[in-house]
Structure 1
Amino acid sequence: MTHKFKVRQLVRLKQPGFSDAQTSSGGVYEVIRLMPADQTGELSYRIKAGFIERAVRESEIRST
């Protein structure tokens, strides 16, 4: 299985939450690390916007 997104690619959350709306980047995150698949087999990523860093599944993000 290969990752859909690459390191340094800009992405957005498909369904941003309240705290995501507060980021100064306007909801745009940068992929900083490709992670292995989780227990369900879905690939994951580490993304970052400003000081906010989080782990997300591939189904939770989209390209900008």
Structure 2
Amino acid sequence: MFHKFKIGQRVRRAQSSPTDERLGFGTISEVVRLMPDDPTGEPSYRIRSGSAERAVRESEIIAAA
């Protein structure tokens, strides 16, 4: 499947939780790696905010303004 976001693009979580904010994901993150589609066929990414990094599905992030 086609990846909507590119490496280096700034994104943010579509819905942040208190855990996300505690880990530093309530702010702007950067796409650091395009990952294979998950079992449902949805593209996945590795994003980084500060020193924290996590995997997310495309539906979980939006482009940062």
Q: Specify if TM > 0.5.
A: yes
Q: Percent identical across equivalent pairs?
A: 56
The residue that corresponds to 2:8 in the other structure is: 8
Stretches of structure 1 lacking an aligned partner (at least 5 in a row): none
Give the Cα–Cα distance (whole angstroms) in 2 for the partners of residues 20 and 40 of structure 1: 24
Alignment gaps of 5+ in structure 2: none
Cα distance in structure 2, aligned partners of 1:38 and 1:26:
23
* Aligned residue number for residue 42 of structure 2: 42
Aligned length: 63
- RMSD, aligned CA: 1.4
1:20 match = 20
Q: Which residue of 1 aligns with 2:56?
A: 56
| Deviation of 1:27 (Å) | 1.1
TM-score w.r.t. length of structure 1: 0.89
Between the aligned partners of 2:14 and 2:60, the Cα distance in structure 1 is 6
Alignment-mate amino acid for residue 13 of structure 1: R
Q: CA deviation at 1:26?
A: 5.4
TM (norm. structure 2) is: 0.88
